[in-house]
């Protein structure tokens, strides 16, 4: 069933688990994620991101994923990730996404607050949740569509002010992760995370989760992370499954099941690490 981001995250901090956002771009990936969530009775968040749009339109993704989210036997939020362009974010809201991320993290904080506050009103009027970001989660070199390499750590006092001013439903924080593949494991600042958590009631989001250790995920959840974003890991698992299953006799159709199975398996592994198994 389709639910908002606000609804899907409401118990996370108190009950100490996080819900995964598994970005998806194909039917096989989307099915693999939803089957994993149903099998483990876990709430889940799915959806594309602005940088993943060129191969299909927002409408194409929405037509496929919205129906699948509604039919799922567990709560599903359909999320438009990292919308930088306000027109696209408004389009996602109008299409029926139950959650959008409006990313103004590269702008000065005053401008980020002003724009986010305005978009929160539009999202809430349509029954949609909104995620924002302050500080900036940068990108590793091989990240898809990397915009900027450097991260800017989130200042806890800025986070408190930002949440109070904007009324956003979730806040992405920069505590040492980056988007894409890591060459060396990142050093996370758990002190900074706890400080932000102590000042903000708003659910906190960890971006750049692909490749973190199980211990890092568990500590992040214990220290206040409510939502964890995964794309790179499933994206690679899907491609690897396609390559391994390919032979001269296979076509695209024969690759669908192996891709779905690989994404399902990786998603189940992450759901268990995030502690959301059995929460649906």
Catalytic residues: 81
Q: Residue 261 Cβ, how far from Zn ion at the closest point, in Å?
A: 26
How many residues sit close enough to Zn ion to count as binding (CB under 5 A)?
Answer: 1
Q: Which residue lies nearest Zn ion, judged by its C-beta? A: 207
269: left (phi over 0), alpha (psi -120 to 50) or beta: alpha
Least distance to Zn ion, CB of residue 139, Å: 9
Q: Which one, 174 or 242, has the nearer CB to Zn ion?
A: 174
At closest approach, how far in Å is the CB of 22 from Zn ion?
13
Q: How many CA atoms lie within 13 A of 91 on its CB side?
A: 14
For residues 205 and 230, give the distance between their C-alpha atoms in angstroms, rounded to a whole number: 11
Q: Would you tell me the crossing angle of helices 232-245 and 27-39 to the nearest 10 degrees? A: 110
- Per CB under 5 A, contacts with Zn ion among 61-120 are none
The Cα 185–Cα 187 span in angstroms is 7
Q: Which is nearer to Zn ion, 40 or 212 (CB)?
A: 212
If binding is defined by CB under 5 A, does position 279 make contact with Zn ion?
A: no
Residue closer to Zn ion (CB basis): 140 or 258: 140
CB of residue 41 vs Zn ion: minimum separation in angstroms? 27
Q: Which is nearer to Zn ion, 74 or 79 (CB)?
A: 79
What is the rounded CA–CA span in Å between residue 226 and residue 131? 12
Cβ of residue 229: shortest distance to Zn ion, in angstroms? 5
Alpha helices by DSSP H, the chain: 5-9, 12-15, 27-39, 58-71, 86-95, 109-125, 156-166, 190-199, 214-222, 232-245, 252-274
Binding residues for Zn ion restricted to 153-212, rule: CB under 5 A: 207
**Under 8 Å between Cβ of 38 and 267:** no
> x-or-dash pattern for Zn ion, window 17-46, by CB under 5 A?
------------------------------
Identify the DSSP state of 49: B
| Cβ closest to Zn ion, residue 170 vs residue 280 | 170
Residue whose CB is less far from Zn ion, 101 or 163 = 101
Number of Cβ atoms within 10 Å of the Cβ of 105:
23
Q: Beta strand pairing status for 99-102 and 44-47?
A: unpaired
C-alpha–C-alpha distance, residues 135 and 133, integer Å:
7
Shortest separation between residue 49's beta carbon and Zn ion, angstroms: 7
Nearest by Cα to 20 from 75, 72, 71: 75
For Zn ion, the binding residues (CB under 5 A) are 207
């Amino acid at each position: 069933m389709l639910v908002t981001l606000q609804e899907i995250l409401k118990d996370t901090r108190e009950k100490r688990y996080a819900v995964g956002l598994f970005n998806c771009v194909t039917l096989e990936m989307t099915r693999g994620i939803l089957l994993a969530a149903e099998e483990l009775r876990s709430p889940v968040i799915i959806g594309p991101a602005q940088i993943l749009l060129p191969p299909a339109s927002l409408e194409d993704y929405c037509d496929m994923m919205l129906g699948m989210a509604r039919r799922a036997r567990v709560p599903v939020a359909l999320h438009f990730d990292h919308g930088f362009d306000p027109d696209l974010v408004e389009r996602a809201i109008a299409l029926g996404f139950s959650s959008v991320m409006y990313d103004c993290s590269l702008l000065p904080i005053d401008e980020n607050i002003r724009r986010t506050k305005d978009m929160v009103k539009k999202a809430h009027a349509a029954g949609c949740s909104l995620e924002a970001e302050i500080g900036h989660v940068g990108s590793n070199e091989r990240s898809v569509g990397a915009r900027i390499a450097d991260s800017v750590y989130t200042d806890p006092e800025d986070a408190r002010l930002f949440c109070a001013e904007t009324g956003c439903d979730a806040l992405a924080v920069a505590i040492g992760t980056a988007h894409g593949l890591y060459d060396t494991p990142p050093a996370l600042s758990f002190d900074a995370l706890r400080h932000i958590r102590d000042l903000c009631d708003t659910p906190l989001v960890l971006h750049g989760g692909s490749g973190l250790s199980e211990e890092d995920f568990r500590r992040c959840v214990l220290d206040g992370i409510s939502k964890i974003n995964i794309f790179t890991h499933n994206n690679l698992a899907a491609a690897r499954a396609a390559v391994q299953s390919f032979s001269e006799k296979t076509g695209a159709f024969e690759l669908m099941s192996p891709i779905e199975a690989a994404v399902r398996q990786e998603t189940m592994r992450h759901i268990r690490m995030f502690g959301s198994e059995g929460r649906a």
